[in-house]
């Protein structure tokens, strides 16, 4: 019995630390068996631009975006004529849970938009949509613009300021999550909910009327739309982009 106890203890330690190491070493841009069972799908395979296109040209830009080492990133240094720009998913979504890892550089600005209608007004408003703000709040001036912080990280850009923001800072990975179920929407950052709202009601219409979107009739009220990653001219990286449709 005395010999059995140390063996049992060693086995427990192996299981605990083995599982921990496996979790830490999970391959980027992949799905676990449980995620597949739960209906998750990858929107970025880590190698190609499959499933993405420029919001206006409808083709993936030849430059301005890099795909390297499993990371999709905005790269202003490679941008040339007719390159870069906002990219959107080819598919449209209605009710969903979206998870994205992102990393911004010092002073950078970008955004994750949803309910984007690239065809509205014949494409002149191709990049308009509800925006999960990606921003270096400490080093970008836009954090002090807007009203009461409604242009800061993990907020609903120019509409609702975030709460409980747990930012890992520039040059570190963060995880954004956006949950849409009907008209109810949530923003999450690193496991904490930062924004919760309902679109389409009177309160929503009042918010839009005092925002930069006031001249966009029906803003944020489309039934389905594309997911957009914004090229704001700064280096920002994305990976582990996955989505689960809510039936």
In order along the chain (247 residues), what is the average pLDDT of each group of 10 residues?
49 44 69 97 98 95 96 93 91 98 98 94 84 98 94 98 98 98 98 98 96 92 96 97 97
A 10 A CB-CB count for 223 gives 11
Residue-wise over 114-148: b if at least 16 C-beta within 10 A, else e? bbbbbebeeeebbbbbbbbbbbbbeebebbeebee
Global model pTM greater than 0.85: yes
H helices of the chain, in order, are 4-24, 33-37, 202-209
Q: Which residues contact 170 (CB under 8 A, 6 or more apart)?
A: 104, 105, 106, 107, 108, 136, 138, 139
- 3-class DSSP state of 220: coil
Calculate the alpha carbon distances from 212 to 34, 155, 158, 246 in Å: 41, 15, 7, 30
Calculate the alpha carbon distances from 116 to 29, 142, 161, 222 in Å: 24, 22, 21, 8
Nearest to 157 by CA among 182, 183, 187: 187
> How much is the pLDDT for 20?
42
| Long-range pairs of 147-156 with CB within 8 A, sequence gap ≥ 24 | 147/210, 153/189, 154/187, 154/188, 154/189, 154/194, 154/195, 155/187, 155/194, 155/195, 156/130, 156/131, 156/132, 156/185, 156/187, 156/195, 156/197
Domains of the chain, start order: 27-245 (2.60.120.560)
């Amino acid at each position: 019995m005395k010999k059995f106890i140390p063996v049992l203890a060693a086995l427990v330690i192996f299981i605990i630390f083995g599982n921990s190491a496996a979790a830490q070493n999970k391959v980027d841009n992949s799905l676990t068996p449980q995620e597949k069972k739960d209906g998750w799908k990858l929107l970025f395979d880590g190698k190609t631009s499959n499933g993405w296109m420029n919001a206006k040209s409808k083709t993936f830009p030849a430059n301005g975006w890099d795909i390297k080492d499993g990371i999709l990133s905005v790269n202003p240094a490679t941008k040339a004529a007719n390159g870069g720009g906002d990219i959107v998913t080819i598919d449209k979504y209605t009710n969903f849970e979206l998870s994205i890892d992102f990393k911004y550089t010092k002073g950078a600005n970008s955004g994750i938009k949803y309910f984007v209608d690239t065809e509205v007004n014949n494409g002149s408003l191709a990049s308009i949509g509800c925006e999960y703000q990606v921003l270096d709040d400490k080093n970008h001036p836009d954090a002090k613009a807007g009203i009461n912080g409604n242009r800061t990280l993990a907020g609903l850009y120019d509409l609702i300021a975030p709460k409980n923001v747990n930012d890992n800072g520039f040059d570190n990975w963060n995880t954004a999550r956006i949950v849409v179920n009907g008209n109810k929407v949530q923003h999450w950052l690193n496991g904490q909910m930062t924004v919760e709202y309902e679109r389409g009601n009177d309160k929503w219409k009042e918010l839009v009327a005092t925002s930069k979107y006031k001249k966009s009739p029906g803003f944020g009220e489309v039934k389905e739309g594309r997911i957009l990653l914004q090229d704001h001219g700064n280096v920002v990286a994305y990976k582990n982009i996955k989505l689960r449709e809510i039936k």
